[in-house]
């Protein structure tokens, strides 16, 4: 039994050092003629192997393709020995087994998985712009079938233990305390029957697929990949090509082709960007939100949510889904009834059936109660205010909540733009108050901004960060100010789209430029999703704070006056139907809204997609440099994490600041020169000029 347990790591990672040690053990075992089997297991509960060491990968960026192929060949040749030694090899998997760990496992003769909720098996390499490089694309399809392998490897999503067994990749699931016994039984049974030798022979041959079957699978999978990636993520297509073209080869030739395939994606701009995103998220998992390690985070078990609208019900649903007890309140009885129903549906939603899971609903419902006001919410560890985005209303509500809070409880506002310090002015204990800004829709959006007011304590911040992580979110701590981080950077982008409309640039030109850059939707459709009336209120806050950079547009008020509020009532810049469906229809061009836009548009010079993209994203970048200069964020990486997971900034660009580094800051200055006529919002900031002159990037290294 070979137990993997890196003493200095929370999870086993396949570093060069671990591979060297693994090789030494195989060398010592290879000559043991009396050995019946080798069981490879982990000494870390909940984790088998969490993949390869990405920091070592980053160190190899920029190496020649021959070197990349050699690195791939080294790992694959080592793991292939597990299918060549004169004894049975079994991977005993309890917990996460992904990436290089899954490749080690598929080279074993057998894999056994536990019925542990943490057990996962998969090949997520495409999510960092790579393909499996240690034999995964060659070995997996010969074990579980080509169709299953295409779905796993090109999609990158891990399988549960039960699904891993169903796909034919493993035996089990077994109880964790039965794992070793089950592995020993499998060794003895495989030796008795000789089945492992027959499987080795079978899995070394080409896959039995006709040309027509391969063509059909390739075409349908390619169409699915194109629909998912819009051609902006090349790794899934390279993986598919590898799987389809290698099916007719023996496993050794398929492995050689795999090494050639990984050299095509390794170190590309997309690979570098996605690895940067991995490091952003990895850092966030470890960040407590405060610099001092001795600051405690108070446990949160009972949460009050005041406001049962779209955001309030979403926040309540997230809490219920994470096992917390929730008290909901709203001044409007009809809104409260609707919000309760939405929270329960949200918390019990099952993606597999695309609807409410009845058993889950019965388990969750007793943890939700509703009240007629803050005073009757009962004992709560934390209350989150989520009422209308109006400073006067919020202040009144927060004062009422605070007076009803038990000693030691925390108070938070879900405001998206109003400074926390201004909301705290009338509170008795502002140290226990902060912003906890969820993003819409709460169920899907992982980002949460934890906003520190002028008097917010470290304990409050640490508690809010730990609470957000309990909900499965990615919290970033930001300083106080209008729009905080994400909305402050988003508004210049959205505001510029209105400026472009006023200059006569067609709506579809603006939308296509944004989506071709990689945004999930264009800024005009985003206005409709946010709500045009909501955007006006939020815009006033931003204009009051930054009047020289945020220009009020007459277009939004004119659309609202015409009764066009966006997706919420089925008509904004685009038409969506009658607004009654929970899921908005696809946006359609609308003659009435276009006629309103045309009233305020002046004919200007035509702009191509590149020019429009620069107009949209450079104001956002300039605002980010102001944010950094003001110290609004604790780390440059929080800017990119916030934009990727808060507004959908394209991950394949690595983040706004990472993208600027790849472009080069001197180049950014050149792009800005012809735009100076548009005023301060497009003038280089002192920080940008200084960094460009010193040739100093935002990121010293992609991995830092």
Report domain extents, the chain.
2-267, 302-481, 487-632+664-693
Q: State how far the Cα of 464 lies from the Cα of 433, in Å rounded to an integer.
A: 10
Phi, psi at 645, each rounded to 5°: -95, -5
**Selected residue with higher pLDDT from 273 and 603:** 273
Structure confidence by residue, pLDDT tens digits, 502-550: 999 999 999 999 999 999 999 999 999 989 998 888 888 788 888 888 8
For every residue of 397-453, DSSP letters joined together read: HHHHHHHHPPTT-EEEE--SSS-HHHHGGG-S-GGGEEEEEE-SSTTT--EEEEEE-
Q: State how far the Cα of 411 lies from the Cα of 405, in Å rounded to an integer.
A: 8
Which pLDDT value is given to residue 583?
Answer: 58
Class of the CATH domain delimited by 302-481: alpha beta
Q: Which residues of 303-320 are buried (b: 16+ CB within 10 A; e: fewer)?
A: bbbbbbbbbbbbbbbbbb
Domain 487-632+664-693 CATH (choose: 1.10.1040.50, 3.90.400.10, 3.30.465.10, 1.20.950.20)? 1.10.1040.50
CATH fold for the domain made of 2-267: 2-enoyl-CoA Hydratase; Chain A, domain 1 (3.90.226)
Among 463, 157, 546, 140, residue whose Cα is nearest residue 288: 463
CB of 143 closer than 8 Å to CB of 106: yes
Which pLDDT value is given to residue 703?
Answer: 40
Structure confidence by residue, pLDDT tens digits, 295-309: 999 999 999 999 999
Structure confidence by residue, pLDDT tens digits, 169-195: 999 999 999 999 999 999 999 999 999
> How far is residue 82 from each of residues 79, 253, 371, 405, 614, measured CA to CA in Å?
6, 18, 62, 61, 53
Longest CA–CA separation in the chain, Å: 88
Which pLDDT value is given to residue 58?
Answer: 86
Which pLDDT value is given to residue 338?
Answer: 95
Q: Which residues of 159-188 are buried (b: 16+ CB within 10 A; e: fewer)?
A: bbbebbbebebbbbbbebeebbebbbebbe
Tell whether the model's pLDDT for residue 701 goes beyond 60: no
**DSSP code for 158:** P
Structure confidence by residue, pLDDT tens digits, 625-651: 999 999 999 999 999 999 999 999 999
**Selected residue with higher pLDDT from 377 and 238:** 238
Which pLDDT value is given to residue 551?
Answer: 81
Q: State how far the Cα of 347 lies from the Cα of 647, in Å rounded to an integer.
A: 23
Active site residues: 437
Structure confidence by residue, pLDDT tens digits, 550-602: 888 999 999 999 999 999 899 999 999 765 555 557 899 999 999 999 999 98
Tell whether the model's pLDDT for residue 352 goes beyond 90: no
CB of 107 closer than 8 Å to CB of 140: no
Tell whether the model's pLDDT for residue 469 goes beyond 50: yes
Q: State how far the Cα of 680 lies from the Cα of 695, in Å rounded to an integer.
A: 23
The predicted model gives 253-259 an average pLDDT of 95
Q: Quick one: tokens of 576?
A: 């969506």
């Amino acid at each position: 039994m070979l137990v993997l347990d890196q003493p200095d790591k929370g999870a086993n990672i396949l570093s060069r050092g671990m591979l060297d040690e693994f090789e030494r053990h195989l060398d010592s075992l290879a000559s043991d003629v009396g050995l019946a089997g080798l069981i490879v297991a982990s000494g870390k509960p909940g984790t088998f192997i969490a993949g390869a060491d990405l920091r070592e990968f980053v160190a190899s960026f920029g190496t020649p393709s021959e070197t990349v192929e050699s690195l791939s060949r080294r790992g694959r040749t080592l793991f292939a020995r597990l299918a060549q030694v004169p004894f049975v090899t079994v991977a005993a998997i309890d917990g996460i087994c992904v990436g290089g760990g899954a490749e080690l496992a598929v080279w074993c003769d057998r894999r056994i998985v536990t019925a542990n909720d943490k057990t996962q098996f998969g090949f997520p390499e495409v999510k960092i712009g790579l393909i499996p490089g240690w034999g995964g694309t060659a070995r997996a399809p010969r074990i579980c079938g080509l169709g299953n392998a295409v779905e796993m490897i090109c999609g990158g999503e891990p399988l549960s233990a039960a699904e891993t067994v169903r796909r034919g990749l493993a035996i089990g699931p077994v109880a964790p305390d039965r794992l070793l016994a089950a592995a020993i039984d499998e060794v003895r049974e495989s030796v008795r029957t000789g089945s492992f030798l027959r499987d080795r022979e079978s899995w070394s041959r080409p896959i039995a697929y006709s040309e027509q079957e391969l063509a059909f699978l390739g075409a349908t999978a390619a169409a699915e990949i194109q629909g998912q990636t819009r051609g902006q993520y090349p790794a899934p297509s390279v993986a598919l090509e590898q799987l389809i073209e290698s099916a007719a080869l023996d496993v050794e030739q398929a492995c050689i082709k795999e090494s050639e395939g990984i050299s095509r994606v390794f170190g590309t701009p997309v690979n570098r960007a996605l690895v940067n995103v991995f490091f952003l998220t990895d850092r966030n998992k470890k960040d407590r939100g405060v610099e001092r390690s001795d600051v405690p985070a108070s446990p949160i078990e009972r949460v009050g949510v005041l406001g049962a609208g779209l955001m309030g019900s979403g926040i309540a649903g997230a809490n219920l889904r994470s096992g917390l007890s929730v008290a909901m309140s709203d001044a409007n009885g009809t809104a409260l009834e609707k919000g309760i129903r939405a929270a329960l549906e949200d918390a019990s939603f099952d993606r597999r059936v695309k609807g409410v899971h009845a058993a889950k609903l019965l388990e969750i419902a007793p943890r939700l109660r509703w009240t007629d006001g803050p005073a009757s919410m009962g004992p709560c560890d934390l209350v989150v205010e989520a009422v209308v985005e109006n400073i006067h209303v919020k202040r009144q509500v927060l004062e009422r909540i605070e007076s009803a809070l038990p000693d030691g409880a925390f108070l938070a506002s879900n405001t998206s733009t109003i400074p926390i310090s201004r909301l705290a002015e009338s509170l008795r204990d502002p140290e226990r108050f902060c912003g906890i800004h969820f993003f819409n829709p709460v169920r899907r959006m992982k980002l949460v901004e934890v906003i520190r007011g002028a008097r917010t304590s470290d304990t409050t911040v640490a508690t809010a960060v730990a609470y957000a992580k309990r909900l499965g979110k990615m919290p970033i701590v930001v300083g106080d100010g209008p729009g905080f981080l994400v909305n402050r950077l988003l508004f210049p982008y959205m505001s510029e789209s209105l400026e472009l409309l006023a200059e006569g640039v067609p709506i579809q030109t603006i939308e296509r430029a944004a989506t071709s850059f990689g945004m999930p939707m264009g800024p005009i459709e985003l206005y409709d999703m946010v709500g045009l009336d909501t955007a006006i209120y939020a815009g006033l806050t931003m204009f009051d704070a930054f009047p020289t950079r945020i220009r009020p547009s007459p277009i939004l008020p004119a659309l609202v006056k015409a009764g066009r509020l966006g997706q919420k009532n089925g008509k904004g810049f685009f038409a969506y139907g009658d607004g009654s469906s929970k899921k908005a229809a696809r946006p359609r061009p609308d003659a009435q809204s276009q006629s309103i836009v045309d009233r305020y548009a002046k004919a200007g010079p035509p702009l191509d997609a590149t020019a429009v993209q620069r107009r949209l994203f450079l104001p956002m970048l300039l605002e980010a440099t102001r944010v950094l200069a003001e110290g609004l964020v604790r780390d440059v990486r929080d800017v990119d994490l916030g934009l990727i997971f808060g507004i959908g900034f394209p991950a394949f660009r690595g983040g706004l600041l990472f993208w600027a580094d790849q472009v080069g800051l001197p180049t950014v200055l050149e792009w800005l020169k012809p735009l100076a006529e548009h005023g301060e919002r497009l003038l280089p900031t002192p920080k940008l000029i200084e960094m460009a002159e010193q040739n100093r990037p935002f990121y010293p290294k992609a991995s830092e």
